[in-house]
Amino acid sequence: MDFELIPAIDLKGGKCVRLQEGDAARSTEYSDDPAATALFWQEQGATRLHLVDLDGAFSGEARHFEAVRAIFRALKIPVQFGGGVRTLDHIERLLDSGADRVILGTIAVEHPEIVEEAVRRHGEAIVAGVDARNGVVALRGWVDLSSLSALDVARRMKSLGVRRIIYTDVSRDGMLSGINVRDTAHLAREAGIGVIASGGAAGMDDIRALWQSRECGIEGVILGRALYEKRLDFREALQSLRRFHAG
């Protein structure tokens, strides 16, 4: 299928957590075994895993490299990784260790020349993370706001050769308040770039709405808290998605 449901694992202090609106003080722990959690989602039928080093995102330094590498090696499905990736050397190290895609967030805004060189070297393995609060891109683990809109950054990424972005509405992330389908579809359509939606997915209604907007360029959705709090059963969601495709 050309639309992916992607389970998320966010690492903080060596554990699997979910934050609310990216606030480190509003953190819920779900597992102290990230590798086992990753294998569980693979067993449930996931075709890709979304893995984020939250400590790295806040600090700008790799904080869970060994745990992350263990997950790459344990899984048969591809993993997209982000969080604190700021240099070409770090990108190379992650890809050499088994990452399928590397997500670039803060440096996409502050050092687009690094993104351009990374795309030149690694093509579609480079994904931009565009995280916005009220339409304005947030940086360094969503702590700081830039002066750029999500659409500005998405268009710039496309001009640098990036093929897809992950768009997160920070105000909805971890809140189970529903995906911002309207802004996600608008961003994909206006920027002319592939978009993976993130932030606020609460159930099948969100998945259905995004799937129905896939012609705009929406390629999938990242699922977090809805899965961990059992608001959404992953296997059942996959079956529903297959039914959408079958008509």
The one catalytic residue among 10, 53, 100, 206: 10
Rounded to an integer, the average pLDDT of 67-76 is 94
The yes-or-no answer on residue 144 being catalytic is no
**pLDDT tens digits for range 51-64:** 999 888 777 777 78
CATH 3.20.20.70 fits 4-246, yes or no: yes
**pLDDT tens digits for range 90-130:** 999 999 999 999 999 989 999 999 999 999 999 999 999 99
Give the number of other Cβ atoms within 10 Å of residue 17's Cβ.
20
Reported as a pLDDT band with limits 50, 70 and 90, residue 197 is very high
Tokens 């259905």 found at? 208
The one catalytic residue among 131, 169, 173, 206: 131
Residue 99 CA: distances (Å) to CA of 113, 115, 133, 177, 182: 22, 17, 28, 30, 31
Query: Domain-by-domain residue ranges, the chain?
Result: 4-246
pLDDT beyond 80 at 141: no
Reported as a pLDDT band with limits 50, 70 and 90, residue 1 is low
pLDDT beyond 70 at 20: no
The yes-or-no answer on residue 173 being catalytic is no
Rounded to an integer, the average pLDDT of 14-33 is 76
Percent pLDDT > 70 in the chain is 96
Closest by CA to 75, choosing from 40, 105, 102, 110, is 40
107 exposure class (CB count in 10 Å sphere: 0-12, 13-18, 19+) = buried
Higher pLDDT, 18 or 66: 66
Q: What is the model's pTM?
A: 0.92
pLDDT beyond 80 at 22: no
**pLDDT tens digits for range 145-186:** 787 999 999 999 999 999 999 999 988 877 788 999 999 999
CA 247 to chain centre: 28
Residue 225 CA: distances (Å) to CA of 17, 18, 27, 32, 80: 9, 7, 11, 16, 18
Tokens 């770090």 found at? 90
112 secondary structure, DSSP code: H
